[in-house]
Every structure is written in structure tokens, then in C-alpha cells.
Amino acid sequence: MLIHSASQLLTLAGGPQRGHDLGKLGIIEKGAVVVRDEKIVAVGTTDELKNAYPDEPTLDAGNCVLMPGFVDPHTHLIWAGDRANEFSMKMGGMAYLDILAAGGGIISTVKATRTASMESLIAQTRPRLLRMFSHGTTTAEAKTGYGLQTATELRLLKALLALDDESPVDIVPTFLGAHAIAPEYKDNPQGYTDEVNNTMLPMLKEWWETHAPRLPLPFVDVFCENKAFDLEQSRQVLSKAKSLGFPLKIHADEFDNLGGASLAVELGAASADHLVKTSDADIAALGKSETVAVSLPCTPFGLAECQYTPARKLIEADAIFALATDCNPGTTWNESMQFVIALACRTMKLTPAEAIAATTINSAYAIRRADTIGSVEVGKQADMLILSVPDYRQLGYRYGTNLVKQVIKRGRVYSVDVGYYRTA
Ligand code: NIG
Ligand code: FE
């Protein structure tokens, strides 16, 4: 298939973009792409590719933007129930971590998730995943973490693998057994940390090698935060995971600076995420590393807080900067990377070009998939978007509505229906 007549083809070619290289879109005006067998086989101008591939079936991009699909590298996609009641409490003045300490927050979603069957979990998660897809996310990382006990954590992983199979979105799973202290260990956080390290992680490794041997091992993540896992416990979890061969991620500096970002660098984690209260020393460490700095601006927005990731400082320090939704029932229930871009531009002073690189090639690198997705280059998976607008700067500028017209996933074209009425 020849996709032609794109006003701007954003290739994002050349690999992850560090520091001030962020925002190099690699634009081809009047661009075109040839796709065969789920892969991109040619990239160029419409004139060039129409000449070189005269007999190829065509898809007219209609003088609109053609770009890589969004890669969302941090979501808590799978859970049961909702926490609309807590949103009211938070807007009434109660703090997120105080609700958690009182047995609400993550723990209330854990209670709902533990009692939900596999079928119910899949049925509740599917619409979120499809909303992500229709807003342009072609690959999403998805964390467990609402089980906090072996059997439920495993059920969440299995449900994620089933959703990956049935949906067009590729799901990259992460094990987040260390998301909160399980209620059974309420007054014994070290006891639960030991349970994660001595029981859950070895079990996960064995299960994975038996049941999903062809898939890469999932990431292992930890919520390094006061009232969750302290720096030492986070180190224990990530070190154990590393010794078993798992790639690593961390939730760091969402509310307090405990040093989690530097720990991530030290252990060679793929990313350190949130990074709101990050110290200058942590920023410098990230800047010298391959650990991607993943910012989640919807989270402070969702909590009605005023402080955001020091993105300009991270870029200045030469870090590899990426963006994600953090979609979850507690702090931010949002499926759209377009909204993340709009928020990132305003709250962290990114340009639309920088935010686009942070949601495609750099976010692909945050889940260590930049060799196959995140840009429009020959040999990569054919995951692309046709927007309904002719200029990429409309992304971020406009928000709250969907600018994606068509999603191309592994070479298949999906149309996003917008703006029509049907009468009975
Ligand atoms: O990334 N910080 C920990 N986890 C989520 C919130 C999860 C929840 O509240 O259910 C986050 O913000
Ligand atoms: Fe998170």
C-alpha cells in the first residue's frame, strides 16, 4: 500500500533524541510511505514513490499530517471499578497520600480488582484500550499493581496478554507488585517487600518462561515514595528483579524526592517516571544516562497540583525526555496522548515538535522498543496516524477533541469516526 499526499510526513528518523536534539521531526513535505507485510518498505515524497511504485494500491492522506503512532510508555491500564468518590474528596481538600494511608486510594482499587474475574477485568479494560487506540496510541505499556498478591497480580498479567492478543494495540506489560503495601502487611512494609522479592518475582520469572517464552520479559517497576516503598526497599526490589534478568522502571519523585531517579540510573533502568520533585543531582544523573526521563503531566493536573516535571532543566542536562498518560483510576484517568501534548506544552514550556518527539521515538525508547516503533523509517513496523489537520503544530494547540482521522496499525487501516449524526 502506498500512502501518499501527506502535507507533512513526520518521520522522527534517527533514533532517540537527547537534550536539545529533542523536536527534530524529520519532515518530508508532500510525503509518502509504502507499507508491505506490516512493515515500512519505502519513505519519500509523493512524486518519488508514485514513480517507484506505480502499481501499488493507494491510500490518499488528503493533504493531512502523516506521523508515527503514539507510544504511551506508562499506564496503569488494567483495574476494576472507579474512584469518582475520591475525586470529590480530593477537590474538597483531602491529600492523595492521606487517602491512601487511610486505606483508600490504590487500596480501594485493589479491593475491587481482587474480586473481579478475568472476564470482568478484560471487559472493563477493553474500552479504555480502544479509546487509547482511537486517539492514536498504537503501543501502550501497561502495569499490574492492583492485585498486591500473587494470584491477582498474575491474573492481571494474563488479562493484559489476552488484551494484547485481541486488540490492535500492542501492549508492553510491566509487573508492579510493588505499587503499594498490601493491606495484609499494613504495618509491615518490609514484610511485603520481602514477599515481592522472595515469592512474587521468582514466581513471575518461572511463569513467564513457561507460558510466554517467546515474549521479552516484562518490566519490573516500584512506587518509590513515602507511604509506599522507601529508597532502600525500592533498591531491594529493583536489584532482585535485575538479578533475575528483568528490565527495570521506577516511579520516582511524584510527591517527595527520595533519590529514586539516581537509583534508576545506577541500576540501568529503562526509565524513571513522574519526576516532579526531582533534585538537581538526580537531573544531572539522568542527563548522563540512557535512563529515559518520563514525565506525566496529567498526574499533577489530575490532582489539581501546580508543580510539574522540570522538563527544561532535564533537556538542558541532556536527558532523553519522554511523555506518557499514566492513565489510572486515582490520579489521572485520561487515555489521550494528544491531551498529554497539550498539557506538556503549556505546563512545561515544550514546543509541539518537542512534545511529538517525546510521545513517539523517545517514548518508544522508554520501553526499549525504539528499534521497531516510534518513527517512520524503512524496516520499522507500519504504525502511523493520519491526522485531520495539515500542520503538525495543531497538535498541542488544539485539545479536548480528537485530531486523529485514521490509525494504521501493522499496516492495517482503521478509521476513526468523528462528527456525524445518525437519526433513528
Ligand atoms: O502513577 N503513583 C502511583 N501510581 C499511580 C496512581 C495509582 C492510583 O492512584 O490508583 C500514579 O499516579
Ligand atoms: Fe504511574
Per-residue pLDDT tens over the stretch 327-367: 999 999 999 999 999 999 999 999 999 999 999 999 999 99
- The CATH number assigned to the domain holding 321 equals 3.20.20.140
How far is the centre of ligand 1, averaged over its atoms, from the C-alpha of 96 (Å)? Answer: 10
Q: 369 in helix, strand or coil?
A: coil
Q: 52 to each of 67, 70, 380, how far by Cα in Å?
A: 21, 29, 20
Helix axes 280-287, 260-267, angle to 10 degrees: 20
227 and 266 assigned to the same domain: yes
Ligand 1 site-directed mutation target among 179, 328, 332, 333, most atoms within 8 Å of CB: 328
38 and 79 assigned to the same domain: no
For residue range 243-254, list pLDDT tens digits in order. 999 999 999 999
Q: What's the rounded Cα separation, in Å, for the pair 296 and 253?
A: 11
pLDDT tier, 419 (very low <50, low <70, confident <90, very high otherwise): low
376 and 406 assigned to the same domain: yes
Q: What's the rounded Cα separation, in Å, for the pair 116 and 110?
A: 10
Checking if the pLDDT of 421 tops 90, the result is no
**DSSP code, position 300:** H
| Model pLDDT, residue 101 | 85
Checking if the pLDDT of 108 tops 70, the result is yes
* Closest ligand by atom to 96 CA: 1
83 CB near ligand 1 (under 6 Å): no
| Model pLDDT, residue 212 | 94
Alpha helices (runs of H) in 244-309, residue ranges in sequence order: 260-267, 280-287, 298-302
- Mean residue pLDDT of the chain comes to 96
83 and 109 assigned to the same domain: yes
Closest by Cα among 52, 131, 334 to 323: 334
110 and 134 assigned to the same domain: yes
50 and 111 assigned to the same domain: no
203 and 330 assigned to the same domain: yes
254 CB near ligand 1 (under 6 Å): yes
275 and 313 assigned to the same domain: yes
Contacts with 24 (C-beta within 8 Å, 6 or more apart), sequence order = 12, 14, 17, 353, 357
How far is the centre of ligand 2, averaged over its atoms, from the C-alpha of 229 (Å)? Answer: 14
293 and 251 assigned to the same domain: yes
Q: pTM value?
A: 0.97
How far is the centre of ligand 1, averaged over its atoms, from the C-alpha of 330 (Å)? Answer: 6
When divided into structural domains, the chain yields a total of 2
| Model pLDDT, residue 418 | 57
- The CATH number assigned to the domain holding 390 equals 2.30.40.10
Ligand 1 atom nearest residue 96's Cα: 9
Q: Of the ranges 298-302, 305-309, 417-421, which one carries the lowest mean pLDDT score?
A: 417-421
Domain end among 319, 337, 366: 366
Range of the domain at 418: 2-69+372-423
Q: Of the ranges 17-21, 85-89, 108-112, which one carries the lowest mean pLDDT score?
A: 85-89
251 CB near ligand 1 (under 6 Å): yes
Q: Of the ranges 98-102, 164-168, 404-408, which one carries the lowest mean pLDDT score?
A: 98-102
Q: Which three cell numbers stand for residue 165?
A: 492478543
Pick the residue whose CA is nearest to atom 7 on ligand 1: 330
Q: What's the rounded Cα separation, in Å, for the pair 323 and 298?
A: 10
Pick the residue whose CA is nearest to atom 8 on ligand 1: 330
196 and 161 assigned to the same domain: yes
Pick the residue whose CA is nearest to atom 1 on ligand 1: 326
Q: What percent of the chain has pLDDT over 90?
A: 96
| Model pLDDT, residue 422 | 61
* Mean of pLDDT values over 220-243: 97
For residue range 185-213, list pLDDT tens digits in order. 999 999 999 999 999 999 999 999 999 99
Residue 388: other Cβ atoms inside 10 A: 17
Q: What's the rounded Cα separation, in Å, for the pair 337 and 324?
A: 7
**DSSP code, position 289:** S
Ligand 1 atom nearest residue 180's Cα: 3
| Model pLDDT, residue 100 | 87
Ligand 1 atom nearest residue 299's Cα: 12
| Model pLDDT, residue 423 | 64
Checking if the pLDDT of 74 tops 70, the result is yes
pLDDT tier, 103 (very low <50, low <70, confident <90, very high otherwise): confident
Pick the residue whose CA is nearest to atom 9 on ligand 1: 330
167 and 266 assigned to the same domain: yes
306 and 344 assigned to the same domain: yes
